[in-house]
Structures are given as structure tokens and as C-alpha cells.
């Protein structure tokens, strides 16, 4: 058991990280095994998602995940499974109109053309040698 304060903190951090890393790796293995047992687009999507999470968290390297995803894609192709396209939002943003504010609340914008343009920079003057 560490005595130094920083070592105690480091030990606590290590325990937390270890639990998180083991959990993420377990989810990757479960998703991969589920996909390999019964290939489906949902299973492939879940496995890819778990692998991407591992890269995002810094648990696996990008090329390692790319290799694993390629292997899963190969199995999916042999089984005739295609990755489902990404889900799109149910309602586009244009359909959601924010509540209109009363016209009296708006103030007219000041129009100054000189303030809108930035002044041109002058070239830096050269220092004279003495």
C-alpha cells in the first residue's frame, strides 16, 4: 500500500481505468462473438461501434481496429450481410421553426460601412542602422 499522497491517487486512477478498459474489451468481444455466431447488419454495426469506442478512448490503436473491422466486413460479405446506412434524423431542422419573437422586441441594426471594413495594414518600417 503506497504511503505518498500522489501514489495513492495514482493507484485509485489505475483501478478505475482498468475497470473501464476491461469493460470496453468485454463489450468488444461480446459484440464480435454475437456477430460471428449470427451475422446481421445490426450485429456488424454494434461491433463496429464498440471498436470505434475503443479507439476513441485510446484503448486500441487505429490500425488494429481497422484490421479487425476489415475482418468483420469480410465475414459479413461472405454471409451476404450489408452494413445498414446511418440513421437520419426523423424531422429535418427546417421543419422545426422556433417560436417567433414579437417584432417590437427587435432593435434596428446600426449600419456603419466604415466599421464593417478592417483598415488596411501598412507595411512595417525598416529599422535604420546607427
Q: Which three cell numbers stand for residue 16?
A: 478505475
What's the confidence (pLDDT) of residue 127?
A: 72
| Block mean pLDDT (10 aa), the chain, length 130 | 95 96 96 94 94 95 96 92 68 58 60 61 70
Residue positions counted in the chain: 130
Q: Are 47 and 29 in contact (CB under 8 A)?
A: no
pLDDT of residue 115: 57
Q: What is the pLDDT of residue 117?
A: 66
Instruction: Give 25's contacts (C-beta < 8 A, 6+ positions apart).
Output: 54, 59
Report pLDDT for 83.
73
Which fold, 5-79? Methane Monooxygenase Hydroxylase; Chain G, domain 1 (1.20.58)
The per-residue pLDDT for 45 is: 94
The Cα angle at residue 55 between residues 52 and 56, in degrees rounded to 5: 85
The whole-number pLDDT of residue 56 equals 95
Q: Distance between CA 82 and CA 100 in Å, rounded?
A: 44
Amino acid at each position: 500500500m503506497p504511503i505518498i499522497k500522489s501514489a495513492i491517487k495514482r493507484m485509485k486512477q489505475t483501478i478505475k481505468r482498468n475497470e473501464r478498459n476491461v469493460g470496453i474489451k468485454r463489450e468488444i468481444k461480446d459484440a464480435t462473438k454475437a456477430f460471428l455466431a449470427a451475422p446481421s447488419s445490426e450485429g456488424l454495426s454494434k461491433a463496429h461501434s464498440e471498436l470505434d469506442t475503443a479507439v476513441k478512448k485510446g484503448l486500441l490503436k487505429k490500425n488494429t481496429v481497422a484490421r479487425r473491422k476489415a475482418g468483420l466486413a469480410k465475414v459479413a460479405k461472405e454471409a451476404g450481410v450489408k452494413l445498414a446506412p446511418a440513421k437520419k434524423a426523423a424531422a429535418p431542422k427546417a421543419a422545426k421553426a422556433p417560436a417567433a419573437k414579437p417584432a417590437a422586441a427587435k432593435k434596428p441594426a446600426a449600419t456603419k460601412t466604415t466599421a464593417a471594413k478592417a483598415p488596411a495594414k501598412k507595411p512595417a518600417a525598416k529599422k535604420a542602422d546607427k
